């Protein structure tokens, strides 16, 4: 602790950002991580703290369209950004393509890595409709699964991409 | 987090430099945060102020000048790997940046941060050294340009003063006749620290003899370094496979002479030699 710092310097900060589509305002400590804020202030406990040093990816959230480690981002850095977490994937009780595919392909074992895996995959599919297997592996290489279910997880992302783009095609045809 | 600090997000480079002028010695600069946040967690850094420079637009562009390309210090690895001019002009650097950490790390980590952290194993530094990289460093009302090789002086240590900020990296492109390679050895592909990493850039003359060769090695000495003595000895020679093998041994011997025999030498000596051979094959053998 830095005893000599005047208390007013350590005052809480007010930040606002878009969280899963809603504009939010929150008071934070300057040294609070984005992960802590999302979990503790908003009760969104999908993102997990695994290693806390950016090696496991369990805390992956999507910030301005990019997958980032929530444990390596200060909450203060979220100010003005758009943030997506695993809780924002489903809408009105309907699972997202990725969530469905993870269930269908057995991409979930203990589940600890799953929210992070889903968010890395979500950032990828938002950027690229039909990623190659290599690109998927690369996008998920910052997410560790200690159940070692990688094959099923990569299958699931491939499957989700396929179904998502087929649905998009069908919708375009029906229009 | 075990520490507390005041978070500042300067709105301009001048504002940032002004804060550094008065509080530089009690400030930490946050660019990508991938090293800094870990040091907060471990308690190894306890600044009074954290200066978030990640949104300073003045230092996040790639500029093409007549002889050099200037890269803004806070561009992320992901932004640079997606930049056509960077990928085309600096293939070894692009390959190295693709090896950094994981996608999550590359989405926030910056080239300026990699230099400021001054790790002996930094992925981006050897491939910048083969372009005779210079670092643009600013403080209030002054700019200094320092050779990257001179800036980093020891593991995690450099000549940056508390009131200074790395604002850009100046790289000299090479002619298209040059071929380049970047390779690393690590425990695994992603999220790993290089045990040996290396960048090579070379050009043959019309007779197929070596006209220029640059070799930079990381993770084997207190700082990443160019092996100029070996480079010079190769000029004018024909790059045949026997010669490439000998050069591998030569570089390894040179580094052992430089840093002395250490616990890791038994492993690193053949690893360095092997990596030199692979890099030279990349640039000399199609």
B162 and B132, same structural domain? yes
Among A30, A53, A120, whose Cβ lies nearest the Cβ of B6? A30
User: Using 50, 70 and 90 to split pLDDT, how confident is the model at B2?
Assistant: low
Distance from CA of B236 to the nearest CA of A (A): 41
A106 and A40, same structural domain? no
Mean pLDDT of B259-278: 91
A12 at B interface, C-beta within 8 A:
no
User: Using 50, 70 and 90 to split pLDDT, how confident is the model at A12?
Assistant: very high
Q: Do A74 and B50 touch (CB under 8 A)?
A: yes
Cβ atoms of A144 and A55 closer than 8 Å: yes
A148 and A78, same structural domain? no
Decide which of A32, A56, A88 is a domain's last residue: A88
A77 and A18, same structural domain? yes
A107 and A45, same structural domain? no
Among B7, B33, B102, whose Cβ lies nearest the Cβ of A57? B102
A150 at B interface, C-beta within 8 A:
no
B6-8 vs B49-52, strand pairing mode: parallel
Distance from CA of B231 to the nearest CA of A (A): 35
Among B1, B104, B107, whose Cβ lies nearest the Cβ of A31? B1
Identify which has the larger pLDDT, A144 or A169.
Answer: A144
Domain count of chain A? 2
| Domain around B151 | 57-171
Q: Do A77 and B33 touch (CB under 8 A)?
A: yes
pLDDT tens digits, one per residue of A20-49? 999 999 999 999 999 999 999 999 999 999
pLDDT tens digits, one per residue of B214-257? 999 999 999 999 999 999 999 999 999 899 999 999 999 999 99
Residue A157: both structure tokens together: 């992302």
Residues A95-134 as b or e (16 or more Cβ within 10 Å = b): ebbbbbbbeebebbeeebbbbbbbbbbbbbbeeeeebeee
A128 and A80, same structural domain? no
CATH number of the domain at A59, please. 3.10.20.30
B107 and B141, same structural domain? yes
Chain A residues inside the 8 Å CB shell of B107 = 66-68
pLDDT at A5: 57
- Residue A3 in this model has a pLDDT that exceeds 50: no
Which of B5, B55, B103, B106 should be substituted to probe chain A, the one whose Cβ sees the most A Cβ atoms within 10 Å?
A: B103
pLDDT tens digits, one per residue of B145-170? 999 999 999 999 999 999 999 999 99
Share of chain A above pLDDT 70, in %: 95
Mean pLDDT of A92-118: 96
A155 and A102, same structural domain? yes
B209 and B160, same structural domain? no
- Ranges assigned E (strand) in chain B: 6-8, 27-30, 49-52, 62-64, 69-72, 134-139, 142-147, 152-154, 157-158, 165-171, 179-185, 196-204, 210-218, 225-226
CA distance A119 to A19: 14
pLDDT tens digits, one per residue of A113-162? 999 999 999 999 999 999 999 999 999 999 999 998 999 999 999 999 99
Share of chain A above pLDDT 90, in %: 87
Among B4, B7, B101, whose Cβ lies nearest the Cβ of A2? B4
B94 and B125, same structural domain? yes
Q: Do B102 and A141 touch (CB under 8 A)?
A: yes
pLDDT tens digits, one per residue of B15-48? 999 999 999 999 999 999 999 999 999 999 999 9
pLDDT at B125: 97
Share of chain B above pLDDT 90, in %: 90
Cβ atoms of A59 and A44 closer than 8 Å: no
For tokens 């960077």, name the residue: B86
Average pLDDT taken over every residue of chain B: 95
A106 and A36, same structural domain? no
C-alpha torsion sign, points A40, A44, A50, A52: negative
CATH number of the domain at A109, please. 1.10.150.120
B99 and B62, same structural domain? yes
Residue B79 resides in a domain: yes
Among A52, A53, A67, whose Cβ lies nearest the Cβ of B107? A67
Distance from CA of B193 to the nearest CA of A (A): 11
Decide which of B143, B171, B199 is a domain's last residue: B171
Domain count of chain B? 3
Residue A2 resides in a domain: no
Complex-level ipTM: 0.94
Chain A residues inside the 8 Å CB shell of B1 = 31-33
User: Using 50, 70 and 90 to split pLDDT, how confident is the model at A6?
Assistant: low
Decide which of B171, B199, B220 is a domain's last residue: B171
pLDDT at A99: 98
Chain B residues inside the 8 Å CB shell of A138 = 103
pLDDT at A175: 74
B71 and B38, same structural domain? no
B167 and B77, same structural domain? yes
pLDDT tens digits, one per residue of B61-76? 999 999 999 999 999 9
- Residue A9 in this model has a pLDDT that exceeds 50: yes
What count of CB pairs under 8 Å joins A to B? 101
Chain A residues inside the 8 Å CB shell of B108 = 66, 68-69, 72-73
| Domain around A113 | 97-168
- Residue B118 in this model has a pLDDT that exceeds 60: yes
A11 and A82, same structural domain? yes
Among A31, A66, A120, whose Cβ lies nearest the Cβ of B3? A31
A111 and A70, same structural domain? no
Residue A162 resides in a domain: yes
Decide which of A61, A88, A115 is a domain's last residue: A88
CATH number of the domain at B157, please. 3.30.465.10
B72 and B44, same structural domain? no
Element (H, E) at A83: strand A82-84
pLDDT at B190: 77
B184 and B155, same structural domain? no
Residue B242 resides in a domain: yes
pLDDT at B33: 97
A13 and A78, same structural domain? yes
A84 and A53, same structural domain? yes
pLDDT at B239: 93
Q: Which residue of A has its CA nearest to B76?
A: A66
pLDDT at A1: 41
A67 and A138, same structural domain? no
CATH number of the domain at B31, please. 3.30.43.10
- Residue A97 in this model has a pLDDT that exceeds 90: yes
Residue A173 resides in a domain: no
Average pLDDT taken over every residue of chain A: 94
Residue B1 resides in a domain: no
Residue B163 resides in a domain: yes
Residue B276 resides in a domain: yes
Decide which of A88, A123, A138 is a domain's last residue: A88
Q: Do A74 and B30 touch (CB under 8 A)?
A: yes
Which of A66, A63, A67, A57 minimizes the C-alpha distance to A75? A63
């Amino acid at each position: 602790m830095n005893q000599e710092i005047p208390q007013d310097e350590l005052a809480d900060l007010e930040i606002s950002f878009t969280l899963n589509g809603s504009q939010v305002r929150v008071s934070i400590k300057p040294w609070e991580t984005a992960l802590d804020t999302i979990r503790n202030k908003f009760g969104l406990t999908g993102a997990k703290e695994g290693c806390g040093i950016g090696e496991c990816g369990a805390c992956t959230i999507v910030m301005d369209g990019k997958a980032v480690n929530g444990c390596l981002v200060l909450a203060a850095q979220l100010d003005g950004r758009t943030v997506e977490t695993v809780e924002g994937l489903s809408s009105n009780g309907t699972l997202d393509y990725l969530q469905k595919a993870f269930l269908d392909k057995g991409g979930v074992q203990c589940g600890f890595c799953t929210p992070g895996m889903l968010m890395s995959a979500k950032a990828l599919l938002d950027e690229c409709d039909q990623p190659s297997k290599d690109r998927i592996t690369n996008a998920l290489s910052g997410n560790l699964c200690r159940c070692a279910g990688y094959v099923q997880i990569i299958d699931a992302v491939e499957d989700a991409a396929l179904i998502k783009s087929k649905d998009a095609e069908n919708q375009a045809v029906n229009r | 987090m075990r520490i507390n600090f005041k978070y500042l997000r300067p709105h301009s480079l001048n504002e940032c430099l002004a804060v550094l002028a008065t509080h530089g010695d009690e400030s930490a600069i946050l660019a990508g945060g991938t090293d800094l946040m870990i040091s907060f967690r471990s308690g190894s850094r306890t600044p009074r102020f954290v200066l978030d420079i990640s949104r300073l637009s003045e230092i996040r562009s790639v500029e093409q000048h007549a002889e050099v390309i200037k890269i803004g210090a806070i561009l992320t690895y992901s932004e640079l790997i997606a930049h056509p001019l960077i990928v085309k002009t600096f293939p070894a650097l692009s390959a190295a940046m693709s090896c950094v950490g994981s996608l999550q790390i590359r989405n926030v980590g910056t080239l300026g941060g990699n230099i400021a952290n001054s790790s002996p194993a930094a992925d981006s530094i050897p491939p910048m050294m083969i372009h005779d990289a210079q670092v643009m460093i600013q403080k209030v009302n002054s700019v200094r340009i320092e050779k990257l090789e001179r800036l980093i002086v020891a593991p995690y240590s450099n000549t940056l003063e508390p009131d200074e900020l790395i604002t850009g990296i100046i790289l000299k492109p090479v002619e298209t006749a040059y071929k380049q390679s970047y390779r690393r050895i690590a425990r695994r592909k992603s999220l790993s620290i290089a045990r040996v990493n290396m960048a090579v850039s070379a050009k043959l003359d019309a007779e197929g003899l070596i006209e220029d060769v640059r070799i930079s090695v990381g993770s084997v000495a207190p700082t990443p370094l160019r092996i100029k003595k070996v480079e010079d000895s190769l000029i004018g020679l024909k790059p045949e496979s026997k010669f490439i093998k000998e050069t591998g041994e030569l570089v390894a011997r040179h580094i052992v002479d430089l840093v002395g025999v250490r616990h890791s030498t038994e492993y690193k000596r053949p690893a360095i030699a092997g990596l030199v051979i692979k890099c030279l094959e990349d640039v000399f053998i199609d």
